[in-house]
C-alpha cells in the first residue's frame, strides 16, 4: 500500500526560516570563534575593568592594573569603625598569571558567546587567595577599631555613709566581624579598589542578666554583711570594715558564665599596707666581720613581704563565702625575699687576707672630723668582682645635714674653706689602697698643686657632684674595704685574695714653674700662705702575677702640678 502525506505550506515556511536562522547563528558563532581565538572572552569584566575581546598585550595591561591595586592598602569598614591595612597583613594574595589565563578562556557554550555578541557582559573573578591564620590574627588586633565589644555583666559597690550597697552592672550585646563571610567578601571585592564593608554579627556576653541579679542578691550582699579580720605576722591583726571591702571589691566574669569576687592587688595593697607594713621583714645581705682579726662571714637572712595577690584573693573568697555569723578571718600570705648576697656566695668570694693597705697623716681637727665621717661610711664596703666603686656614689651627699663641717679646700688654685674640706685626704688614701691592690683605675683627678704629705703623681681629690674617685674590681674575688681613723692619721685596708704584686716607680721632677703672688680680701676664707714651685712628674705602676712573677701590665701617668701662689690677705 502507498501512503501520500501532503505538508502544509505554512509549516514548511517556518521550518525554512528556523533552518536559516540556525545556519546564520552557526555562521556568526563560527566566525566569532575564529575572530576571538587569541583574545579574551567577549564581554568579560574583571574587578570592574572592561576586559572583553582584548589581545594578549591588552589583557596583560589589565592584569598589571590589578597588580598595582594589589599593592594598595585595604580600607575596611563596619558600623563600629574603620581601619586601613596592608594586603599582606590580611593574608591576601593576587595570582596575576592565573587571572590572565582565566580571562583568555573562551565560553564553551554557544549561548554565553551569543549573549556577549549581543552586548551582554559577564564577570570574570580575579584569582585571589587568603591566608586565614594571618587574616584572623589581624582582625583580632583590629577589634577595638572594627568591633563593638560586648559589655560583661558585673557588680560593684556604692558606699554611702560607710554603708556599702551592691550595684548591678547589666550586660549588653556586642557586634563583631563575621569572619567566614568577611573572608569571602575580601576575596571577592579586594581588587575593586574601594572601601570594603565587612559583614558583622551580634554576640552575647558570657554573663547573663539573671546571673548578675542572683549575685547582687546573694554573694555581693553577703560579702559586706560583716567585717573581715586579717591576721598577720608578729600578732598584728587588721580589721577590714564592710565599707573598706566595698571600696575595693567587685564581681567580674569568670569565663564560664558566672561572676567571681575580685580585689585588685594594687588597690588592696594601698588600703592595707600602712597597717601590714610592719609585719614585713627586709632581707639582710651577708657581710664580713673582722672582730677576730681576720674576715669571717656574718650570715645573710631571708626577708618576707606580703603576697598581695594571695592575701586579697583570700579576703575576697572569705568575704563572699561566709555569712555574717561565720568566722571571717584571713591569714596574711607572705612571700620570701632573698638577700642580694647570700651566706654561701659570701663564703665563695675569697675575702681572706690583706691585699693592700695605705695610711696618710697630717690633717687639722676640722678636716679630721670630715675624714672620720667619710671613713666610717666606707668602712665595710664590699666591691663584687667586675663592679665599680664610686666614692661620691657610695657616700652620697656630704653636707651639714650629714654632719660634715667647714674646713680647708683648694679652690681656683689657692686655699679656701668649704663644708667637707679634707675629704680629699681620704680619697688619696683610698686611691693608693686600690692602686696597690692592682685594681683598675677608672677615674681620678690629682690636686691642682702638690701637697707634700701625699705621694707625687699618686694622689686624688674629690668634690661632690664634680670630681669623683672610681675604681673597678677587675679580679674574680670580692674586695672588702676596712678603714681605720685616729686624730692623726687614716688607714684604708683591702681584704681579698692575693693574685698580683704591684711596684710603684716615681719619676724625677722637671719643668719647674715659679709661684705667682695673689692678694685676697682679708676674712675668714682668706688663708695666707707661702707659695711653692710647680713641676711635672710621673708615676709608673707595674703589675705582676703573684705566682709566677710575670709582668701583666705597666702604666705611666704624667702629672703637671701648678705652682701654689703666695697669698696675702689685705
Query: pLDDT by residue (tens digit) across 335-369?
Result: 999 999 999 999 999 999 999 999 999 887 778 88
pLDDT of 35: 47
What proportion of the chain, given as a percentage, has pLDDT over 70? 87
- Give DSSP secondary structure letters for 424-471: HHHHHHHHHHHHHTT-EEEE-B--SS--TTS-TT---B-BTTTB--EE
Q: To the nearest 10°, report the CA torsion of 265, 267, 272, 273.
A: 80
Q: Is the pLDDT of residue 34 over 50?
A: no
Report how far residue 269's alpha carbon sits from residue 249's, in angstroms, rounded to the nearest whole number.
13
pLDDT of 460: 96
* 62-121 pLDDT tens trace: 999 999 999 999 999 999 999 999 999 999 999 999 999 888 887 665 645 545 555 477
* 285-310 pLDDT tens trace: 999 999 999 999 999 999 999 999 99
pLDDT band per the 50, 70, 90 thresholds, residue 29: very low
* 366-389 pLDDT tens trace: 788 889 999 999 999 999 999 999
* 145-181 pLDDT tens trace: 999 988 999 999 999 999 999 999 999 999 999 999 9
Report how far residue 318's alpha carbon sits from residue 228's, in angstroms, rounded to the nearest whole number.
8
pLDDT of 113: 53
Alpha-carbon separation of residue 391 from 57, 367, 491, 557 (angstroms): 80, 17, 16, 21
CB 375 within 8 A of CB 483: yes
- Give DSSP secondary structure letters for 476-534: SS-EEEEEEE-SSEEEEEEEE---EEEEEEE---EEEEPPPEEEE-SSTT---B--B-E
Alpha-carbon separation of residue 201 from 87, 135, 180, 198, 424 (angstroms): 23, 17, 11, 10, 77
Helices and strands in the chain, H and E counts: 16, 36
* 466-480 pLDDT tens trace: 899 999 999 999 999
Under DSSP, the state recorded for 106 is P
pLDDT of 531: 75
Amino acid at each position: 500500500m502507498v501512503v501520500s502525506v501532503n505538508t502544509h505550506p505554512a509549516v514548511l515556511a517556518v521550518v525554512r526560516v528556523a533552518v536559516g536562522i540556525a545556519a546564520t547563528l552557526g555562521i556568526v558563532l563560527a566566525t566569532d570563534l575564529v575572530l576571538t581565538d587569541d583574545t579574551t572572552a567577549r564581554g568579560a569584566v574583571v574587578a570592574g575593568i572592561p576586559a572583553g575581546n582584548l589581545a594578549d598585550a591588552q589583557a596583560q595591561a589589565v592584569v598589571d592594573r590589578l597588580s598595582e591595586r594589589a599593592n594598595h592598602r585595604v580600607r575596611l569598614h563596619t558600623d563600629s569603625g574603620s581601619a586601613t591595612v596592608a594586603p599582606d597583613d590580611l593574608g591576601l594574595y593576587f595570582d596575576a598569571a592565573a587571572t590572565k589565563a582565566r580571562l583568555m578562556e573562551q565560553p564553551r557554550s554557544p549561548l554565553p558567546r551569543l549573549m556577549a555578541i549581543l552586548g551582554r557582559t559577564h564577570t570574570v573573578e580575579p584569582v585571589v587567595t587568603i591566608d586565614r591564620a594571618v587574616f584572623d590574627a589581624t582582625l583580632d588586633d583590629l577589634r577595638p577599631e572594627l568591633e563593638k565589644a560586648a559589655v560583661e555583666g558585673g557588680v560593684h559597690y556604692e558606699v554611702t555613709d560607710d554603708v556599702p550597697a551592691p550595684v548591678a552592672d547589666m550586660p549588653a550585646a556586642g557586634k563583631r566581624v563575621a569572619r567566614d563571610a568577611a573572608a569571602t567578601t575580601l576575596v571577592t571585592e579586594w581588587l575593586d579598589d574601594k572601601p570594603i564593608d565587612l559583614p558583622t554579627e551580634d554576640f552575647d556576653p558570657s554573663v547573663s542578666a539573671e546571673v548578675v541579679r542572683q549575685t547582687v542578691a546573694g554573694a555581693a550582699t553577703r560579702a559586706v554583711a560583716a567585717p573581715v579580720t586579717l591576721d598577720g605576722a608578729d600578732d598584728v591583726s587588721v580589721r577590714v570594715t564592710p565599707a573598706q571591702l566595698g571600696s575595693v571589691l567587685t564581681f567580674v566574669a569568670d569565663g564560664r558564665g558566672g561572676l567571681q569576687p575580685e580585689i585588685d592587688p594594687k588597690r588592696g595593697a594601698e588600703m592595707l599596707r600602712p597597717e601590714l607594713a610592719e609585719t614585713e621583714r627586709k632581707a639582710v645581705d651577708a657581710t664580713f666581720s673582722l672582730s677576730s682579726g681576720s674576715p669571717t662571714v656574718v650570715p645573710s637572712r631571708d626577708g618576707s613581704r606580703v603576697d598581695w595577690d594571695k592575701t586579697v584573693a583570700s579576703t575576697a573568697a572569705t568575704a563572699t563565702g561566709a555569712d555574717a555569723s561565720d568566722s571571717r578571718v584571713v591569714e596574711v600570705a607572705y612571700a620570701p625575699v632573698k638577700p642580694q648576697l647570700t651566706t654561701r656566695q659570701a663564703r665563695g668570694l675569697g675575702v681572706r687576707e690583706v691585699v693592700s693597705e695605705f695610711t696618710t697623716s697630717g690633717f687639722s681637727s676640722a678636716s679630721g672630723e670630715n675624714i672620720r665621717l667619710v671613713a666610717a661610711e666606707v668602712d665595710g664596703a664590699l666591691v663584687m668582682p667586675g663592679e665599680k666603686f664610686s666614692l661620691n656614689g657610695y657616700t652620697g651627699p656630704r653636707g651639714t645635714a650629714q654632719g660634715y663641717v667647714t674646713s680647708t679646700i683648694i679652690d681656683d688654685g689657692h686655699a679656701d674653706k668649704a663644708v667637707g674640706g679634707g675629704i680629699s685626704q681620704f680619697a688619696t688614701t683610698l686611691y693608693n689602697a686600690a692602686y696597690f691592690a692592682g685594681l683598675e683605675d677608672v677615674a681620678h683627678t690629682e690636686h691642682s698643686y702638690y701637697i707634700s704629705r701625699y705621694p707625687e703623681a699618686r694622689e686624688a681629690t674629690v668634690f661632690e657632684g664634680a670630681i669623683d674617685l672610681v675604681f673597678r674590681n677587675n679580679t674574680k674575688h670580692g674586695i672588702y674595704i676596712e678603714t681605720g681613723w685616729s686624730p692623726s692619721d687614716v688607714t684604708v685596708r683591702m681584704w681579698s685574695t692575693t693574685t698580683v704584686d704591684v711596684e710603684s716607680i716615681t719619676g724625677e721632677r722637671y719643668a719647674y714653674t715659679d709661684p705667682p703672688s695673689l692678694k685676697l680680701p682679708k676674712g675668714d676664707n682668706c688663708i695666707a700662705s707661702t707659695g711653692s714651685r710647680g713641676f711635672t712628674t710621673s708615676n709608673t705602676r707595674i703589675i705582676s702575677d703573684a705566682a709566677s712573677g710575670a709582668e701583666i701590665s705597666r702604666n705611666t701617668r704624667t702629672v703637671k702640678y701648678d705652682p701654689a701662689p703666695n697669698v696675702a690677705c689685705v
